[in-house]
Chains A and B, each alone.
Chain A
Amino acid sequence: MTDSTLLKTRLQAVSNLDFSPSDTVQSAEQISRPSLSYWQDAWIRLKKNTRALVSLYIVIGLALFTLAGPILWQVDPALQDLNQLSQAPSLPKQAIFVEEHTRWEGIVLENFPAEPEAFLDVLPAPTNLRTAETATTQAVRIAWDPVVGAGGYAVYRNQHLPESINDLGLPLGTKLAGNEVSYEDRLNVEGRDYYYSIVSTDGYDESDTYITLKVTPDLAITKTEALSRGLITEESIVANGETIDLEFHPFGTDYLGRDMLARLMEGARVSLFIGIVAPFLYVMFGIFYGGFAGYFGGNLDAILMRFADFVVALPFLLFMILFKIAFGIGPGESGVLPMLIALVLLGWPATARLVRGQVLQIRTQGYIEAARLLGAKDHYLIIRHIIPNTMGVILVTLTFAVPAAIFTEAFLSFIGMGVAPPTPSWGSMCNEGVKTMLSHPHELFFPALFISTTVLAFNLLGDGLTEALDSRMRSRE
């Protein structure tokens, strides 16, 4: 080196050196980390993984939702609230008491001809379209002024402001006389905005013009209805015009007016029951089968695993459907059990293969040989060495099997091959929701959200467990 000077000159420049032997304790062989068991270490690593930890909380939350939810939210999932069909999620609503519905004669003008006296080329739209009385969900009564030359009127209802004559919506009905100038609508009236349109007719054809009225019916309830739904008791005295709190549906209602939250809880029981019990059963069976094949090896192993190969080759969904049908659903049964059996019958080979591979690998390890030489018996080896060493892989398999089973259930229920109605499951709720997807998206959204969240949580938890339990990853950090 060009800049290196001779040792003597350079080193001598340093003064204050102490050449006495160092008395610092030289513990080069110290152990820097405390000893941890496999599971302690895995738990610590899992806790560091935020995503996995959040997933774990979500899973716990779902368990509470399913088990404790129905205690807190005591609403019958089968009860239909006909006042609030396909209701979007909202705050609690109130309704006013009204008289029992009585027949409405309507408005028939005496001094106006029922039949047109002359046919006009252009028939104008009626004028002065108005509500005849306060519109309620019991009935909407509208009236309009007659049109000269009209032989009748057609009444339409839409949920948005019509853009043209072709966009008037539901044809509610027709009046067949020019002097019948009112209409009563009792067709599933909900507490939302409606646009009523009237088109004059000459008795045969409709004219090209129309008049539209926006009506927002008040929520109304009769005493009989309130009684039948348990909102009031026989003894309570209510006056017309008084308000009463209607049933609260925080997640809205479905197309039959059933409470979504209660149904989601009930559905969670079905979905999570199948999603957790089925994987648990088939993983158990797989462990037994694979462990047996792997431990004893030889021809037995070959035959057992060949059979497992065949089962894997079965087209999964086709056989799920076949088996489910084969086990039959009696009247009034939910079909949960056949689905469970079908899942177990088709699900086990993956675990069996995995466990067999693990066992084959562990069987040849030195510590097994050592234990055997020390006189350990088969059952001791299996309980003390083989099972603990395969636990990690099995746990991970189980975690990933849960979302797969939930998906399968949802999938089958969605195509109408799953649990039988009226039993709700998240999949069958999606199936019902998808039909009204355009008008009432919440009926699809909530069950889909629950499926996705559950699957997501179990997937992330599985990832976290894989990382925490994988001994290769330990040395990597």
Chain B
Amino acid sequence: MTDSILEVTDLSVEFATYGGRVKAVRGVSFDVKAGETLAIVGESGCGKSVTVQSLMGIIPMPPGEITGGVAKLNGKDILGLTSKEANEFRGVKIGMIFQDPMTSLNPTMTIGDQIAETLMVHRGMGKKDAFDRAVELLDKTKISEAAKRAKQYPFEFSGGMLQRAMIAQSLACNPSLLIADEPTTALDVTIQAQILELMSELQRTENMSIILITHDLAVVARMADRVAVMYAGQIVESGTVDEIFYESAHPYTLGLRAAMPSNKTTREKKLTPILGSPPDLFHPPTGCGYFARCPYAMKSCEKMLPPECLLTAESNHQSRCWLQHPDAPEVQELFQPARTQEEAPDAG
């Protein structure tokens, strides 16, 4: 674990709103290793965007507040810094791209100027040099006629092109980590594939790590090395992409998989939605967050929050579910390595 470039431990974030305090992130821990892609998956409102945005220090404070936890970038703490301190890593060591490229670029500045701005601020480059470098970066992200395009404004670009420009901008200072917050959600499917391909290619050539936030399991399967599944502000399961897809150890992961179309989906085997909606994070449940929607909910799940634990000694596969208790009943399809077979439960 010495090769982790980012280590987040027990991060908690709350928002003060009219209705009360929303506990958006409730004790999240994960790490990112050099050169790997970590996907954070979950449905809307589960806290995945807030998690990475609070790492970058770009959630509005107030109303946002980081109430606990540590985040270390190459061993250096990055939470609770002043904006001046934070700007030593923002845009330099961590680049970030956002969900909607149409609104994520300043509409009244040319694309080239916006990319050059990063270089001028962080690298102290002159205006001309920075702009030339911006053109190179646009070229690198496969934008044709980059020199001409750099002089254009965001509204003259298509969505896919803007996302390429965003990527070029985030790569300006050769960051070691790229945070992509739902980078393909707002794009057409064909463009999505191009953007994802571009990202994997750049990851290889620039040797950087990626945190990919998404709710699209297909994107996860294609891009990720490791996956963290978030629900109601907590990571409920994490592991390698194979572990998550083939040895799912949390009912929520199972639910997500059942709701995802695959080439096995036929007229007979329909997609299964997860019924209900996530819990109210003004008053988060004391027990498991998934309790109200879990088909296997047990009495203990309501009151007691299961701890986050490693499933096997060999792997880094973790889950947060009472069903992983040695005495818990068996659930078909769920990966339960610790369950003691000899104490098989009765059906009642």
Direct contact of A and B (CB under 8 A): yes
29 pairs, CB–CB < 8 Å, chain A vs chain B: A1-B31, A1-B308, A2-B1, A4-B308, A6-B309, A6-B312, A6-B313, A7-B310, A7-B311, A7-B338, A8-B326, A11-B306, A11-B322, A11-B324, A11-B338, A12-B326, A17-B304, A17-B325, A17-B327, A19-B325, A19-B328, A19-B329, A20-B298, A21-B298, A22-B291, A24-B291, A28-B277, A29-B277, A477-B19
Q: Which of B322-342 contact A (CB under 8 A)?
A: 322, 324-329, 337-338
Q: Which of B202-248 contact A (CB under 8 A)?
A: none
For residue A378, CB closer than 8 A to chain B, the reply is: no
Interface string of B241-278 (1 = CB under 8 A from A): 00000000000000000000000000000000001110
Inter-chain CA distance A18–B345, complex, in Å, is: 12
CB atoms of A20 and B299 under 8 A apart: yes
Q: Which residues of B contact A14 (CB under 8 A)?
A: 304, 307, 325
Q: Which residues of A contact B329 (CB under 8 A)?
A: 19
Chain B: which residue is nearest A28 at the CB level? B276
Q: Which residue from A17, A22, A29 sits with its C-beta under 8 Å from B275? A: A29
Chain B: which residue is nearest A13 at the CB level? B307
For residue B86, CB closer than 8 A to chain A, the reply is: no
Interface string of B50-73 (1 = CB under 8 A from A): 000000000000000000000000
For residue A26, CB closer than 8 A to chain B, the reply is: yes
CB atoms of A11 and B307 under 8 A apart: yes
CB atoms of B310 and A4 under 8 A apart: yes
> From residue A48, how far is it (CB to closest CB) to chain B in Å?
10
Inter-chain CA distance A12–B307, complex, in Å, is: 11
Chain A: which residue is nearest B307 at the CB level? A10
* A-B complex: 4 closest residue pairs judged by Cβ atoms: A28-B276, A18-B299, A22-B297, A7-B309
Q: Which residue from A2, A21, A24, A26 sits with its C-beta under 8 Å from B293? A: A26
For residue A5, CB closer than 8 A to chain B, the reply is: yes
Q: Which residues of A contact B306 (CB under 8 A)?
A: 11
Inter-chain CA distance A136–B139, complex, in Å, is: 98
CB atoms of A28 and B301 under 8 A apart: no
Interface string of A232-273 (1 = CB under 8 A from B): 000000000000000000000000000000000000000000
Q: Could you tell me how many residues of chain B have their Cβ less than 8 Å away from some Cβ of chain A? A: 40
For residue B292, CB closer than 8 A to chain A, the reply is: yes
Q: Which residues of B contact A477 (CB under 8 A)?
A: 18-19
Inter-chain CA distance A444–B307, complex, in Å, is: 75
CB atoms of B298 and A28 under 8 A apart: no
CB atoms of B326 and A26 under 8 A apart: no
> From residue B293, how far is it (CB to closest CB) to chain A in Å?
5
Task: Give me the interface of A with B, judged by CB distance under 8 Å.
Answer: 1-2, 4-8, 10-12, 14, 17-24, 26, 28-29, 477
> From residue A344, how far is it (CB to closest CB) to chain B in Å?
41
Q: Which residues of B contact A24 (CB under 8 A)?
A: 291, 297, 302
Q: Which residues of A contact B318 (CB under 8 A)?
A: 1, 4
Chain A: which residue is nearest B327 at the CB level? A19
Inter-chain CA distance A4–B313, complex, in Å, is: 10
Contact status of A26 and B338, CB under 8 A, knowing A5-B310, A10-B307, A11-B324: no
Q: Which residues of B contact A6 (CB under 8 A)?
A: 309-310, 312-313
Q: Which residues of A contact B298 (CB under 8 A)?
A: 18-22
Q: Which residue from B325, B345, B348 sits with its C-beta under 8 Å from A11? A: B325
Inter-chain CA distance A2–B7, complex, in Å, is: 11
CB atoms of B324 and A7 under 8 A apart: yes
Interface string of B279-318 (1 = CB under 8 A from A): 0000000000001110011111110101111111100001
Q: Which residues of B contact A23 (CB under 8 A)?
A: 299
> From residue A174, how far is it (CB to closest CB) to chain B in Å?
76
Q: Which residues of A contact B312 (CB under 8 A)?
A: 6-7
> From residue B3, how far is it (CB to closest CB) to chain A in Å?
14
For residue B29, CB closer than 8 A to chain A, the reply is: yes
Q: Which residues of B contact A28 (CB under 8 A)?
A: 275-277, 292-293
Inter-chain CA distance A21–B31, complex, in Å, is: 35
Inter-chain CA distance A28–B285, complex, in Å, is: 13
Contact status of A11 and B299, CB under 8 A, knowing A22-B291, A29-B275: no
> From residue A237, how far is it (CB to closest CB) to chain B in Å?
73
Q: Which residue from A1, A10, A29 sits with its C-beta under 8 Å from B29? A: A1
> From residue A35, how far is it (CB to closest CB) to chain B in Å?
18
Q: Which residue from A1, A2, A17 sits with its C-beta under 8 Å from B300? A: A17
Inter-chain CA distance A446–B276, complex, in Å, is: 62
Inter-chain CA distance A2–B313, complex, in Å, is: 12
Q: Which residues of B contact A11 (CB under 8 A)?
A: 306-307, 309, 322, 324-326, 338
Chain A: which residue is nearest B348 at the CB level? A20
Q: Which residues of A contact B302 (CB under 8 A)?
A: 22, 24
Inter-chain CA distance A29–B291, complex, in Å, is: 14
Q: Which residues of A contact B291 (CB under 8 A)?
A: 22, 24
Q: Which residue from A4, A21, A22 sits with its C-beta under 8 Å from B309? A: A4
CB atoms of A22 and B18 under 8 A apart: no
Inter-chain CA distance A192–B248, complex, in Å, is: 96
Q: Which residues of A contact B313 (CB under 8 A)?
A: 6
Since A6-B312, A11-B325 are in contact, a sample of 6 more A-B pairs with Cβ atoms closer than 8 Å, ordered by chain A residue number, is A1-B308, A5-B309, A11-B307, A19-B329, A21-B296, A477-B19
> From residue A81, how far is it (CB to closest CB) to chain B in Å?
56
Q: Which residues of B contact A1 (CB under 8 A)?
A: 9, 29, 31, 308, 310, 318
Inter-chain CA distance A11–B300, complex, in Å, is: 13
Q: Which of B160-214 contact A (CB under 8 A)?
A: none
Q: Which residue from B31, B309, B337 sits with its C-beta under 8 Å from A10? A: B309
